Each structure stands twice: as C-alpha cells, then as structure tokens.
Structure 1
Amino acid sequence: MQLCPPPPQIPNAQDMTTTVNYQDGEKISILCKEEYLIQRGEEIVCKDGRWQSIPRCVEKTPCSQPPRIEHGTIESSKSTEERKKRSEPKRYAHGTRLSYICEDGFRLSEGNGITCNMGKWSSPPQCVGIPCEPPALIPHGVLSHKLDSYQYGEEVMYSCTEGFGIDGPASIRCLGGKWSDPPPCIKTDCLSLPIFNDVILIGQKKESYRSGEQVAYKCPEYYQLDGSSFVQCVNGKWIGRPTCRGISMKFLNLFMKVPEVK
C-alpha cells in the first residue's frame, strides 16, 4: 500500500493543515477563498500514492443588469433617492437573487425571481395577463359568444334585440381580469309623432316608427314651408322641425289678382 505525500496547494483555496503521509483512501476537504467558487468536487482522495479528483477554485463572476420582462419590473428594496444616485450600471455578485413584480392586471407565470450564476442570469419569469370571467349581460343585449373564461386582451361584441341599438362602441375587452365598460342598448323606435304647429302630416299616422324612417309634412293653404318637409326617427328621437310661415298680404294679393280681359 502506497502512502500519499502532503496534498498540493490549490490556487485561491484556503490554507490546509497537513501531515507528512496519508493512507490510501483518505480524503481531504477543500475550501475556496470567499470570492472564489469550487469546481470538480469538494474533496481530494489519496489513491495508489497519488491525490485524485483535484478541484479548482475559480473566481465568482458577477452579473450585469438583469433581463427586462414585458409588463414587469425588478422589485427593489432601495428608496427612489438611492436609485437616482447610481451613476454607473450595477454589478451583481454571484449567487444574487432578484425578484420581479408585474404591472396591475398581470401576474407571474411561474416563480418570481432570477439568480446570478457565474456571470449569467437564470431564465426570468413572464408576466401574463389575468383572464376574465364571463361579462355581464346588459338589458336588451346579446353577446357574440360566451365562454367560461376569456384571455387577456380578448374582445366580445354586443348586439341588441329588435327595437334597440348600441349606443357607442359595440365591443368590450378583457384587461387584467376586468372588462371595459359595456355599451347600453337604447330604444331606437319612435313611439309617437312630434307635435308641430300649423303643419299637416302626409300619409297615415302609425303607432311606432323604426330608426331611420322618415315622415313628411306639408303646410295648409296660404302658408309656405320654412326648411325641410321631413322629420326622421334616429335612435328613438325625431330629428328635424318643419315650420309653416304665413304668406305676406302683398304676395297673396298678387297671387289672387285676376288679369283684366281686353
């Protein structure tokens, strides 16, 4: 059986207390200095008169700025003033762990942090949009499609039952677990005709009129129309106001004068 001599001094390792000879199979633990990291095991073994599995102490490489993620930022315990004082890009020591936080309406997909390992950051998490539950129904409204849940940014369309119409944008969007404000369904039929002085309805009066439908008026004898003769039903309201004005006496006398027969 061959004995081993004192073990070699490994660069950047802590000093070891050694003896003259070591038995076959005897092991010694190796510790690196504070700013160094051990590689290829943490022990050396005496075998056949030689030391086996000799490790290395390599310098701990710091990391540069952590990766950015969409809709997320690094969570910092430092005050705003302290962050402003940093004039140079910060270096992060090996083993440093940083955590991410997401904007409102987003959440981390898995985990929440990254770790610096010999100059490289581990893969960062992602901030994903919070899904929405089915949107609320609106009076006289119908949804374009209904699901158990909706992804961030997904849209649904509203339509209205007969006699009603959408007032504003017809779609709503899922944003961070909440829906944008739904539009109202407003009554689009006009149920009664407006009352105007000195005008006469042309045609039969109806109980209701659809949006877009027009009604014509005329003036009585010796009156002339001022403006359009039509009014139009638009989303439950009548648009337009025909007015009849009396014909002047001078014009009326001229109109009624009978030419003399020669």
Structure 2
Amino acid sequence: MRVAAVLCPPPLPPVNGRLVDEGPHYQVGSTVQFTCNERHQLVGESSIVCTETGFWSHPPPFCKARCPYPGDPEHGRIAPVKFSYEPGDHLKVTCATGYVVKMEARSPQCRVDGTWSEKVPECRSYRDV
C-alpha cells in the first residue's frame, strides 16, 4: 500500500509583495521565500518550510509600507533619524547657525504608500530670505 505524499497548501503572496519561487506543489521540506515591493518592509519570517504535518512552519509574512530615509538638507539636519519611517511619521528640519527654513515650508509626512508628502525643506541663508 502506497502512502500519499504530504503536501502543504500553496501560500498566498503578501499584499504589496510576492513569492520568490512558486512551485506547483509543496512537499515536506519545500521552502518558500517572500519579498516585498519597493517602499515596503517584510514583517515576519522571510521564508517558511512545509512540515510533515502538512502545515507551514510559520504564518506567511506581510508587507508594511515604509518611507526611506530622505537625507539631511544642505546646512541642516532632519529629526528623527531612522533607517525607515512608518506612515504618519513627520520630519522636523533644524538648520545650522545662520540658516533658516522658509516659514511656509511644510513638514514632510510619511504616507500610507511609502512616499513622502513633501520634499525635505531647504535651509537657506538668513541673507536670502
């Protein structure tokens, strides 16, 4: 009598992400890797393994929107400094002595799609304002 091979169900790709290698069948020991689209960060395990129980070793990860570090303006600094920013985060620009941000400049905010609402304001010399 032949025993049927244990298979895991196909994992769903995360929203704003994808499976790196998709196979038609996932037998015990099969590994699936996940990646996220640009401006998104993987939360959870980046790879999962099909176990002998027919279930995956971990739940599939998800992809969360993130804004990249935009860099400091010339003659200034942004705060807070992070590798990446979550939607809703705001940036504050502090200029070096003798420089100032225009009064009408708005504070950049990280949007839900992983982009900044505004460019980082420039620091301008007091003489040019």
TM-score computed with the length of structure 1 as normaliser: 0.28
Counterpart in the other structure of 2:61: 183
Is the 8 Å Cα contact of residues 188 and 234 (structure 1) preserved in structure 2? no
Is the 8 Å Cα contact of residues 188 and 235 (structure 1) preserved in structure 2? yes
Q: Percent identity?
A: 25
Separation in structure 2 between the aligned mates of residue 240 and residue 163 of structure 1, nearest angstrom: 17
Instruction: Map 1:58-73 to 2 at 5 A.
Output: none
Please state how far the C-alpha of 1:185 moved relative to its aligned partner. 0.4
Please state how far the C-alpha of 1:129 moved relative to its aligned partner. 7.1
Counterpart in the other structure of 2:24: 148
The alignment yields a C-alpha RMSD, in angstroms, of: 3.4
Is the 8 Å Cα contact of residues 233 and 239 (structure 1) preserved in structure 2? no
Question: What does the per-residue CA deviation read over 1:93-120, in whole Å, with 9 as the maximum and x for residues that have no partner?
Answer: xxxxxxxxxxxxxxx964xxxxxxxxxx
Structure 2: gaps of 5 or more residues: 96-129
Opposite residue 230 of structure 1, the aligned amino acid is: I
Is the 8 Å Cα contact of residues 78 and 94 (structure 2) preserved in structure 1? no
For the pair 1:236 / 2:113, whether they are aligned, the reply is no
Structure 1: gaps of 5 or more residues: 1-107, 111-127, 190-210, 219-228, 245-262
Please state how far the C-alpha of 1:240 moved relative to its aligned partner. 8.3
Q: Return the structure number with greater relative CO, CA threshold 8 A, min gap 6.
A: 2
Please state how far the C-alpha of 1:158 moved relative to its aligned partner. 0.7
Please state how far the C-alpha of 1:187 moved relative to its aligned partner. 0.5
Judging changes above 3 Å, is the alpha-carbon distance between structure 1 residues 130 and 139 closer, same or farther for their aligned structure 2 residues? same
Q: Which has the larger radius of gyration?
A: 1
Please state how far the C-alpha of 1:155 moved relative to its aligned partner. 1.1
Opposite residue 166 of structure 1, the aligned amino acid is: L
TM-score computed with the length of structure 2 as normaliser: 0.52
Judging changes above 3 Å, is the alpha-carbon distance between structure 1 residues 230 and 157 closer, same or farther for their aligned structure 2 residues? same
Tell me the matched-pair count: 89
Q: Which of the numbers 50, 69, 81 marks the counterpart of 1:212? A: 69
Judging changes above 3 Å, is the alpha-carbon distance between structure 1 residues 240 and 162 closer, same or farther for their aligned structure 2 residues? closer
Judging changes above 3 Å, is the alpha-carbon distance between structure 1 residues 213 and 243 closer, same or farther for their aligned structure 2 residues? closer
Please state how far the C-alpha of 1:215 moved relative to its aligned partner. 3.2
Please state how far the C-alpha of 1:168 moved relative to its aligned partner. 3.3
Is the 8 Å Cα contact of residues 72 and 78 (structure 2) preserved in structure 1? yes
Separation in structure 2 between the aligned mates of residue 130 and residue 170 of structure 1, nearest angstrom: 23
Question: What does the per-residue CA deviation read over 1:44-101, in whole Å, with 9 as the maximum and x for residues that have no partner?
Answer: xxxxxxxxxxxxxxxxxxxxxxxxxxxxxxxxxxxxxxxxxxxxxxxxxxxxxxxxxx
Is the 8 Å Cα contact of residues 165 and 235 (structure 1) preserved in structure 2? no
Counterpart in the other structure of 1:174: 50
For the pair 1:158 / 2:40, whether they are aligned, the reply is no
Separation in structure 1 between the aligned mates of residue 85 and residue 55 of structure 2, nearest angstrom: 31
Please state how far the C-alpha of 1:139 moved relative to its aligned partner. 0.5
Instruction: Map 1:66-81 to 2 at 5 A.
Output: none
